[in-house]
Amino acid sequence: MNQLALVTGATSGIGRAFAERLAADGYDLIVTGRREDRLAEFAAAHPDVRVRTVAADLSTDDGIDTLAALCAAEPLTMLVNNAGVAHYMPLAQLPAAKAGELVHVKVGAPTMLTRAAVGGMQERGGGRIVNVAGMIAFSGPADASVLPRRAVYAGSLAYLVALSQTLNAELEGTGVRVQVLCPGVVASEFHERQGLDLSAVPRMAAADVVTASLRGFELGEVVTAPGVEEAGLLDAVFRADLAAFGGQSPELASRYR
Ligand SMILES: NC(=O)c1ccc[n+]([C@@H]2O[C@H](COP(=O)([O-])OP(=O)(O)OC[C@H]3O[C@@H](n4cnc5c(N)ncnc54)[C@H](OP(=O)(O)O)[C@@H]3O)[C@@H](O)[C@H]2O)c1
């Protein structure tokens, strides 16, 4: 039996590139997104593997429930939580509906799909879960002058980093691996959807992001950053996180007295 992967946001960009690569590697696929024409087009273009198309809107509870049910029922070997929107805007101006959409798609959906998939993967003794975040997860300490206003988006990516690291540790010894994938700027429809023209900015190809993800698993990485040449930079971040975490005590720190 072929391996089976479910990819969210498979209608364009990084998700589409994942679906293409996994199909080329002989995976059967469940491809999802809202644009049904693109899902059908993908299926028609890949007659050599089984492709199931499921249209679902991950900004809704119904959409998340539909895909979570599939994740629980199907013998997935890989889950790629990739769907995303950015909605860069100062928080006070971000319409509540857009904030809710972002949190549903980037936080709620990966959480509930991962939760649904992971039990079966453990029972079967293996599986891989990719949560697509981004380098913006690490941008929080940056000065306001260099950052566009995007607190909810940045927060959603940081959530995926903590979720993936913590869950990967929880799953140690089960054969199930979790990766958080952190690209920089990637050529896709992501920015033009929100009216930003980044065509003049050097951007990584989506296919390279996928190559990094698959190789990252082979390297045993939990955090895979396709555009960071010096892997030690990330190790230093995590060592510092752990040092700060371990540096706490129940005593009120003297600078607050
Ligand atoms: N592009 C970058 O520079 C960049 C950098 C770092 C991280 N990322 C992350 O990479 C992921 C993929 O983005 P991309 O660059 O490939 O952008 P993209 O080309 O715009 O693709 C986004 C995908 O998400 C799906 N999606 C969006 N809203 C959805 C919803 N409500 N329900 C279901 N699916 C939805 C879209 O499908 P439908 O429209 O058909 O629903 C589409 O397939 C995102 O999560 C993003 O945070 C992107």
- Indicate the SS3 state at residue 161: helix
The total of structural domains in the chain comes to 1
Which of 6, 12, 42, 182 best tests ligand 1's pocket when mutated (most atoms within 8 Å of CB)? Answer: 12
Which residues does 114 contact at the CB level (< 8 Å), separation at least 6?
71, 79, 81, 129, 131, 163, 167, 178
Cβ 77 under 6 angstroms from ligand 1:
no
The answer as to whether 221 is a domain residue is yes
Is pLDDT at 3 greater than 90 in this prediction?
Answer: yes
The whole-angstrom separation of Cα 227 and Cα 2 is 31
Which residues does residue 28 pair with via DSSP β-bridges, in sequence order? 4
Residue pair 84/132 in contact by the 8 Å Cβ criterion = yes
CA–centroid distance, 85 to ligand 1, in Å, is: 6
Structure tokens at 211: 């190559």
The answer as to whether 89 is a domain residue is yes
83-133 pLDDT per residue, tens = 999 999 999 999 999 999 999 999 999 999 999 999 999 999 999 999 999
Is pLDDT at 148 greater than 80 in this prediction?
Answer: no
Q: Is 159 a catalytic residue?
A: no
* Residue of 27, 153, 159, 256 with catalytic role: 153
Cβ 19 under 6 angstroms from ligand 1:
no
The whole-angstrom separation of Cα 141 and Cα 254 is 23
Band (pLDDT 50/70/90 cuts) for residue 65 is: very high
CA–centroid distance, 16 to ligand 1, in Å, is: 10
Nearest CA to ligand 1 atom 17: 190
The answer as to whether 236 is a domain residue is no
For residue 175, the enclosing domain spans 4-231
Other residues' Cβ atoms within 10 Å of the Cβ of residue 231: 14
Structure tokens at 87: 């909605």
Mean pLDDT, the chain, rounded, equals 96
Q: E-assigned strands of 20-175?
A: 28-33, 51-55, 78-81, 127-132
The answer as to whether 128 is a domain residue is yes
Which residues does residue 180 pair with via DSSP β-bridges, in sequence order? 131, 223
The whole-angstrom separation of Cα 117 and Cα 78 is 9
Band (pLDDT 50/70/90 cuts) for residue 135 is: very high
Which residues does 135 contact at the CB level (< 8 Å), separation at least 6?
182, 183, 184, 225, 227, 228
**CATH number for position 77:** 3.40.50.720
| Phi and psi, residue 147, nearest 5° | -115, 135
Band (pLDDT 50/70/90 cuts) for residue 197 is: confident
pLDDT of residue 255: 97
Structure tokens at 216: 């990252």
Sole residue written with tokens 């054969």: 175
The answer as to whether 39 is a domain residue is yes
The answer as to whether 253 is a domain residue is no
The average pLDDT across 75-82 equals 98
Report if pTM > 0.95.
yes
151-173 pLDDT per residue, tens = 999 999 999 999 999 999 999 99
14-57 pLDDT per residue, tens = 999 999 999 999 999 999 999 999 999 999 999 999 999 999 99
CA–centroid distance, 74 to ligand 1, in Å, is: 23
